[in-house]
Amino acid sequence: MSISNLSELFEHTLQDVYFAENHINKNLPTMIEKSSSTALKSLFKDHHAETKTQIERLKKVFEVIGKKPSGEECPAIEGIVKEAEELIEEIDDKETLDAALIAAAQAVEHYEITRYGTLLTWAKLLGHDDAISLLRDNMEEEKSADAKLSRLAEDKLNKKAA
């Protein structure tokens, strides 16, 4: 696909994050399964439910721009997930594994936050007013997931692993 204006770039980036959310949706069950702490498990479960809602919001954003929802492969999210999977294979201690899962999840959240920040800015520039609150809701959920993960890491998990 050749991209020649901001409108096409917006669509491309929307397809990128749509792919990324679906990829995360597929991989969260493994994160849930691999985590040991009940607090971390329930955080991942909550975020899995949120991710499904985020995918629905993205479908509405496609509707706003008059396009069918479709994904475009996002090598960045595939790389973050692959790196996490490789690291997980090397860890045998439960607490250390939880710390690694938190770190991996935070890398995902930060990727998502940059994408939603960019899409939000472009939606405003392009006058896609009906997309703004949908993108903002997704971004706020990612920020809140990131903050919860930080709190969990600081509270106890990293201390136990230390």
Residues that bind Fe ion (CB under 5 A): 16, 21, 51, 54, 74, 76, 109, 112, 142
* Closest distance of CB 112 from Fe ion, Å: 5
Question: Is 21 or 98 the residue whose CB approaches Fe ion more closely?
Answer: 21
* Closest distance of CB 92 from Fe ion, Å: 27
Tokens, residue 152: 């969990």
* Closest distance of CB 84 from Fe ion, Å: 13
- The amino acid present at 78, given as its one-letter code, is E
Q: How many residues does the chain have?
A: 162
Question: Is 11 or 21 the residue whose CB approaches Fe ion more closely?
Answer: 21
DSSP string of 57-117? HHHHHHHHTT--------HHHHHHHHHHHHHHHH---HHHHHHHHHHHHHHHHHHHHHHHH
State which residue has the least CB distance to Fe ion: 74
Tokens, residue 73: 């492969």
* Closest distance of CB 140 from Fe ion, Å: 11
Tokens, residue 2: 């050749």
Question: Is 74 or 153 the residue whose CB approaches Fe ion more closely?
Answer: 74
Question: Is 53 or 93 the residue whose CB approaches Fe ion more closely?
Answer: 53
